[in-house]
């Protein structure tokens, strides 16, 4: 079954079962269709490129905000109702032991599509990503040195050239079973299952690099390179004494040790850095320009830079590039529900990956008229085009005028005056107040107030 149709079904079921708990929102509810869900997603993306102080401003008729396009997608109340009741998992099959049970279906689907639709270039990288959310949930992370300090952490495998998010895994905390070699080892081996034995070259930083990891990656056909801490198990003892090396060397000098396929290199720049690789030759180098201060004057300096360092600097930034593309027009909205944050981030991944796929397809099919775009066609142009497609909006359509959505009734009201009075259903549900009334809906079989100053009969049927 199509995932959008499933989301609509789960949302409609959830709204029907829990609507009376939120009557102010439920009064504008009617069944969500796939077409309307696409418009809902288009509106969320529209909010990512048009910034306003709060979501209500999109429907404002005041002079500063009048003319925005939100009402072309749907009314404000309808948007709030969908945002309130949206459900991306089946409550009947949610596993209480799974911390991601409320989004597992969606994340699995997005991961599958990311892997299926794209063939990465040879160089890929793994790094972490923080997605902002300050709500209370079991796997919330705080990282002091990150721009996004509070939120959830994702491990990302990205194409180093394009920034395409090829695979990802959400970190669920220390309780995860990381295997005998630790968290970093387990993360890398999990994310690389789909690229083994295909000649890929993988780059990562010193959080992940270990002798065991590089050897095991080589065994499954993946070359790897990364900076490494000298305190790592298996680091060559012969080059651990960095202070002595720095006393005897100058900027641009290097030393190395090889153990079979595994190469360990130390290179002196401003400070000495250590790297391990299974894909480089110690004698390969390029020239690099540096500025150095001599007798109070800055001078340009040309030094030899090992190819291992050059390649690491060039190809390690795939996840950073992906983050930049996502954050430029991200759809993230403030919410305390962690799974909604994940839902928004999945939209971002889908949007950016779609842009990369489209640009790649254009480059490979330059003669196809339907793919012709302006020379400086970028992510913003693509996002605008995508939003218009999702919202079924023409490029020259006039700004729509707001209109109230129709009220949907499941059946006609059929009040019946009874000899004996009963408790008003709506008064007790909303206010926990017992009000006696002799009016009863014959179809619903519930007592409801039916007075000039308090018409619970009409209000109740609007909520159905």
- Contacts made by residues 220-224, CB under 8 angstroms, sequence distance 24+: 220/192, 220/196, 221/196, 221/197, 222/192, 222/195, 222/196, 222/197, 223/199, 223/277, 223/278, 223/279, 224/277, 224/278, 224/279
Q: Residue 294's beta-bridge partner residues?
A: 297
Report whether 76 contacts 43 (CB < 8 A): no
What is the spatial distance between Cα 325 and Cα 322, in angstroms, rounded to a whole number? 5
pLDDT in tens, 9-65: 999 999 988 887 888 888 778 999 999 999 999 999 999 999 999 999 999 888 788
For strand 285-294 and strand 436-441, is the pairing parallel, antiparallel, or unpaired? unpaired
What pLDDT score was predicted for residue 233? 93
What pLDDT score was predicted for residue 395? 80
What pLDDT score was predicted for residue 444? 83
What region, left, alpha or beta, does residue 429 occupy, with left being phi > 0 and alpha being psi -120 to 50 degrees? alpha
What residue ranges of the chain have pLDDT lower than 70?
1, 175-177, 400-414, 464
Phi then psi for residue 281, to 5 deg, are: -105, 135
Report whether 130 contacts 153 (CB < 8 A): yes
What pLDDT score was predicted for residue 125? 98
């Amino acid at each position: 079954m199509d995932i959008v149709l499933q989301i609509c079904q789960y949302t409609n079921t959830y709204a029907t079962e829990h609507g009376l708990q939120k009557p102010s929102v439920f009064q504008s509810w009617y069944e969500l269709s796939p077409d309307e869900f696409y418009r809902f997603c288009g509106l969320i993306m529209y909010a990512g490129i048009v910034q306003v102080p709060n979501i209500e401003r999109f429907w404002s008729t005041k002079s500063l905000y009048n003319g925005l396009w939100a009402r072309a997608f749907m009314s404000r109340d309808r948007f709030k109702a969908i945002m309130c009741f949206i459900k991306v998992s089946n409550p009947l099959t949610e596993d209480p032991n799974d911390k991601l049970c409320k989004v597992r279906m969606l994340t699995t689907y997005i991961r599958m599509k990311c892997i299926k639709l794209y063939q990465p270039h040879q160089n890929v990288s793994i790094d972490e990503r923080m997605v902002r959310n300050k709500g209370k949930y079991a796997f919330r992370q705080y990282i002091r040195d990150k721009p996004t300090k509070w939120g959830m952490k994702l491990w990302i495998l990205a194409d180093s050239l394009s920034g395409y998010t090829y695979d990802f895994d959400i970190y669920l905390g220390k309780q995860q079973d990381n295997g005998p070699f630790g968290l970093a080892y387990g993360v890398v081996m999990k994310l690389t299952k789909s690229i083994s034995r295909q000649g890929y070259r993988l780059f990562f930083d010193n959080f992940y690099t270990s002798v065991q990891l590089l050897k095991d990656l080589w065994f499954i056909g993946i070359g790897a390179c990364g900076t490494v801490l000298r305190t790592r198990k298996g680091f060559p003892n012969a080059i651990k004494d960095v202070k002595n090396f720095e006393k005897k060397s100058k900027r641009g000098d290097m030393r190395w040790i090889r153990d079979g396929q595994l190469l360990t290199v130390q290179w002196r720049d401003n400070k000495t850095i250590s790297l391990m690789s299974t894909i480089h030759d110690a004698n390969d180098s390029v020239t690099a320009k540096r500025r150095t201060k001599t007798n109070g004057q800055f001078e340009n300096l040309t030094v030899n830079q090992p190819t291992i360092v050059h390649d690491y600097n060039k190809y390690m930034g795939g996840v950073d590039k992906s983050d930049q593309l996502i954050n430029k027009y991200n759809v993230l909205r403030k919410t305390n529900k962690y799974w909604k944050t994940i839902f928004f981030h999945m939209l971002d991944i889908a949007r950016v990956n779609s842009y990369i796929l489209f640009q790649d397809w254009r480059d490979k099919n330059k003669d196809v008229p339907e793919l012709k775009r302006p020379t400086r066609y970028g992510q913003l142009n693509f996002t605008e085009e995508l939003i218009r497609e999702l919202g079924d909006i023409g490029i020259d359509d006039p700004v729509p005028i707001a209109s109230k959505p129709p009220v949907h009734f499941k059946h006609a009201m059929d009040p019946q005056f009874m000899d004996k009075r009963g408790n008003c259903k709506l008064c007790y549900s909303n206010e926990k107040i017992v009000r006696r009334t002799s009016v009863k809906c014959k179809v619903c079989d519930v007592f409801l107030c039916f007075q000039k100053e308090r018409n619970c009969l009409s209000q109740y049927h609007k909520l159905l």
